[in-house]
Amino acid sequence: MTPPLIVAIDGPSGAGKSTAARALAARLGVPYIDTGAMYRAVGLAARERGLRLPISDPEPAADVAQSVTVELIATSGGDRVLLDGRDVTELIREPEISLYASAVSAIPAVRRRLVSEQQRLGRARGGVLEGRDIGTRVFPETPHKFFLTAPPEVRASRRASELALRGTPQPYPEVLAEMEKRDSDDSSREDSPLTLDGRYVVIDTQALTPQGVVAEMERRVLRPGG
């Protein structure tokens, strides 16, 4: 029996992972699994239950992760994220939730809960998964591993533009500072830090269009023996 196609896309915030992963999944005919949205949803739930940053006691956040249900739903109008049946697609993109996502993702019990769910989703139908540890922790065995990156200033500029388009503008210096903090948090956490091994294909998205990034990944996934 042929195993399901799994493509892992990792990299820092603002590198273009979500856009590329969504488009690549459509081209390959497999689900798009936004693992970052899952951590954001748990972060939102943690904030709504009164947890404050920094999270010094991991147990309440672990309890939140165990008690909530996060669903990723593909609709004709785009991908939606449901938290206990409530659509939180826009809420989880608030800048503060990015910091909550990094905070809860550093907690081993939270990661175990969500990694297990991500593996279940991928093994069921295959998929393009994007996040911070897909190729190192969630599906380290996949031969299709990509690491998207770009300078912090480029990534912060993209994120500031996205926030403005959503109607939630934030000054560029604040976006850059928050992004650099998240980069530091994601790379320095003890459990599943943002990193890569020698089997990744590194793609600098600064020099490519989004279409070019997707085309390069598709070419590598579909090439004979790829």
Give me the residues paired with residue 201 across strands.
146
Quick: pLDDT tens for 91-138: 998 888 988 998 999 899 999 999 999 999 999 999 999 988 999 999
Question: Fold for domain 6-222?
Answer: Rossmann fold (3.40.50)
CB 146 within 8 A of CB 221: no
The backbone torsions φ and ψ at residue 37, rounded to the nearest 5 degrees and listed phi first, read -65, -30
What confidence tens digit (pLDDT) does each residue in 25-48 have?
Answer: 999 999 999 998 999 999 999 999
Residue 225 is predicted with a pLDDT of 64
**Would you say 46 and 100 are in contact if contact means Cβ atoms under 8 Å apart?**
yes
Domain ranges of the chain: 6-222
